[in-house]
A and B are shown apart, each in its own frame.
Chain A
Amino acid sequence: MKRNPAKRNAEPARRSITVPQASNRRFYGHGIPNVDLNRLAGKLIVVEGADGSGRSTQIARLRNWLEGCGHATVQVGLKRSTLVSEELNQAQNGNILSRTTLSLFYATDFADQLENIIIPALKAGFMVLADRYIYTLMARDLVRGMDEAWLKNLYGMAVVPDAVFYLNVSPEELVQRNFAKNHALDYWESGMDLGLSRDMFDSFMKYQELVAREFRRLQTVYGFDIVDGNCSPDGINMALQKKIEVVLKAK
């Protein structure tokens, strides 16, 4: 019997599709009202890291790979909510918000996406790729002197992800990557609001080091995977895929 070559190619791919097991999930703290987290089939995968750490590249590749493996995938990120993203941008451009306000504004943006995108997607069995999550928000606020217990309570509304990867890149390398892309440093990513230095380059280096330090500390609390972001994009992606495969097969 003569085989159809196209069909033969399709066969191994079809065999390899993993159907993730539905599992119970939990919130970090008090959670959110009217939401039942029992038996959610989808998985929540978070990639954290500074601008220039390769986050977007890795997420785009992961999405490609997951979809190739037959998993419906949705992507979320910070400052993308219908509710407040516009106002948040406006406020940031003027740098007129004080720290608690900015923190709560970001939390509102996060909550809106959590309830309207992340949780419904997990219920529908989607793979949710989060381009940053509560850890970035917490690290930024901690650097600005916000109270850790306060932040922990606030983000007790967040769902615990299945995997969190932090792409760790040295400030020196981040500067190079940012310049290669934009030839400019971003005001907020340089922490200019903190008054660390009036020189943007100095401020960027100091700020990124402070954020990285908070991440290392948060890692001991939330136990995420620190990935060496200085490695090649291919190498990093292979490593992430391996770890996500374990998540997909988890019972």
Chain B
Amino acid sequence: MTKTFAELNFPGRLIAVEGLDGSGKSTQIYLLKRWLEQQGLRVFFSEWNSSELVKNATSKGKKRELLTPTTFSLIHATDFADRYERQLVPLLRAGYIVLCDRYIFTAYARDTVRGCPPEWVRGIYDFAAHPDLTFFFKAQLEVSLQRILDGRPQLKYFEAGMDMRLSADPYESFRIFQGRILEQYLGMSTEFNFSVIDANLPVESQQSVVRELVASRIDLGSFVASNLVPVA
């Protein structure tokens, strides 16, 4: 499916943010959410890899390093499908603005870097409609890496791409892995009509671009939550 929710005549709209870890996308989507909420609009926020049901299996697989590129891909697709079918679609049918921190493009990028056939991955996510608006937060690789690595965090095995045996050093592995993901994102940017945001700018400057784009592309007035009908 390559249609957006608007093209499928859903009353709701879906906005996704994509980008590397450390690109600041989560901050930006949070600020967008606050702005929409303060206008009294029907908003729902959903995060990648957060389905209660699948989480257990995913964290077990990650902790015990049981995942191969194929099962890594499938378990994330399961997580996504669960959120998609049980939350996103019903809310979009009910006329919500749904904000997604990462969407199918995260899977396209990561799974392809891990060696899964791109057509296979895209085929699996074919049940999902495309976002009405996708922001891609484009930061210089070094800037993203610094944001994450400055804290000298304990990088997790799969997060650092250690399963790909790129380097025995988790930090070096993370750098190479993130670099390859960035290449994938850049390659998809035109194809999927990403709205590219310069993530090297100050938070406020980025947010004002984001808000302007959202206001110009989505008729926000039609998403005002009615006081007469309970929304939750």
Query: Which residues in A have some Cβ–Cβ distance to B below 8 Å?
Result: 29-34, 82-84, 86-87, 91, 96-101, 103-105, 107-108, 111-112, 115-116, 147, 149-150, 153-154, 156-157
B77 within 8 A of A: yes
Q: Which residues of B contact A101 (CB under 8 A)?
A: 53-54, 78, 81-82, 85-86
Q: Which residues of B contact A30 (CB under 8 A)?
A: 117, 119-120
Assuming A101-B78, A101-B85, is B120 touching A83 (CB within 8 A)? no
* Cross-chain contact B123 with A153 (CB below 8 angstroms): yes
- What's the minimum C-beta distance from A147 to chain B, rounded to whole angstroms? 8
* Cross-chain contact A104 with B53 (CB below 8 angstroms): no
Binds A, one of B26-34, B65-73, B189-197, B202-210: B65-73
* Cross-chain contact B66 with A112 (CB below 8 angstroms): yes
Q: Which residues of B contact A112 (CB under 8 A)?
A: 66, 71
Q: Which residues of B contact A31 (CB under 8 A)?
A: 117
B75 within 8 A of A: yes
Bound: A96/B51 CA distance, A: 12
Bound: A96/B71 CA distance, A: 22
* A-contact bits for B75-90, CB 8 A (1 contact / 0 none): 1011001101110000
Q: Which residues of A contact B95 (CB under 8 A)?
A: none
Binds A, one of B55-63, B134-142, B170-178, B222-230: B55-63
* Cross-chain contact A104 with B123 (CB below 8 angstroms): no
Query: Which residues in B have some Cβ–Cβ distance to A below 8 Å?
Result: 53-54, 56-57, 60-61, 66-71, 74-75, 77-78, 81-82, 84-86, 114-117, 119-120, 123-124, 126-127
* Cross-chain contact B69 with A100 (CB below 8 angstroms): no
User: Counting chain A CB atoms within 10 Å of each CB, which of B67, B71, B85 scores highest?
Assistant: B71
B78 interface neighbour in A34, A105, A147, A156, Cβ under 8 Å? A105
Query: Closest chain B residue to A108 by CB distance?
Result: B74
Q: Which residues of A contact B61 (CB under 8 A)?
A: 83-84
* Cross-chain contact A157 with B70 (CB below 8 angstroms): yes
A104 interface neighbour in B81, B115, B126, Cβ under 8 Å? B81
Q: Which residues of A contact B60 (CB under 8 A)?
A: 83
B123 interface neighbour in A34, A103, A107, A150, Cβ under 8 Å? A150
Query: Closest chain A residue to B66 by CB distance?
Result: A83
Q: Could you give 5 example pairs across A and B, Cβ below 8 Å? A: A32-B116, A34-B69, A104-B124, A108-B71, A154-B123
Bound: A166/B23 CA distance, A: 52
- What's the minimum C-beta distance from A116 to chain B, rounded to whole angstroms? 8
Q: Which residues of A contact B70 (CB under 8 A)?
A: 32-33, 111, 115, 157
Q: Which residues of A contact B75 (CB under 8 A)?
A: 83-84, 108
- What's the minimum C-beta distance from A145 to chain B, rounded to whole angstroms? 12
Bound: A100/B86 CA distance, A: 10
- What's the minimum C-beta distance from A69 to chain B, rounded to whole angstroms? 33
Assuming A83-B66, A150-B127, is B85 touching A98 (CB within 8 A)? yes
Bound: A87/B61 CA distance, A: 12
* Cross-chain contact B74 with A107 (CB below 8 angstroms): yes
- What's the minimum C-beta distance from B92 to chain A, rounded to whole angstroms? 15
Q: Which residues of A contact B77 (CB under 8 A)?
A: 104
Q: List the 7 closest A-B pairs by CB distance, nearest first.
A: A33-B115, A153-B123, A98-B85, A30-B117, A104-B78, A30-B120, A108-B74
A33 interface neighbour in B69, B82, B119, B124, Cβ under 8 Å? B69
- What's the minimum C-beta distance from B172 to chain A, rounded to whole angstroms? 21
Q: Which residues of B contact A157 (CB under 8 A)?
A: 70, 120
A100 interface neighbour in B56, B66, B81, Cβ under 8 Å? B81
- What's the minimum C-beta distance from B165 to chain A, rounded to whole angstroms? 10
* Cross-chain contact A83 with B69 (CB below 8 angstroms): no
- What's the minimum C-beta distance from B133 to chain A, rounded to whole angstroms? 24
Q: Which residues of B contact A104 (CB under 8 A)?
A: 74, 77-78, 81, 124
Bound: A112/B71 CA distance, A: 6
Q: Which residues of B contact A107 (CB under 8 A)?
A: 74, 78
* Cross-chain contact A87 with B71 (CB below 8 angstroms): no
Assuming A33-B70, A100-B127, is B57 touching A87 (CB within 8 A)? yes
- What's the minimum C-beta distance from A144 to chain B, rounded to whole angstroms? 12
* Cross-chain contact B71 with A111 (CB below 8 angstroms): yes
Q: Which residues of A contact B68 (CB under 8 A)?
A: 32, 34, 111, 115
* Cross-chain contact B120 with A153 (CB below 8 angstroms): yes
Q: Which residues of B contact A100 (CB under 8 A)?
A: 81, 84-85, 127
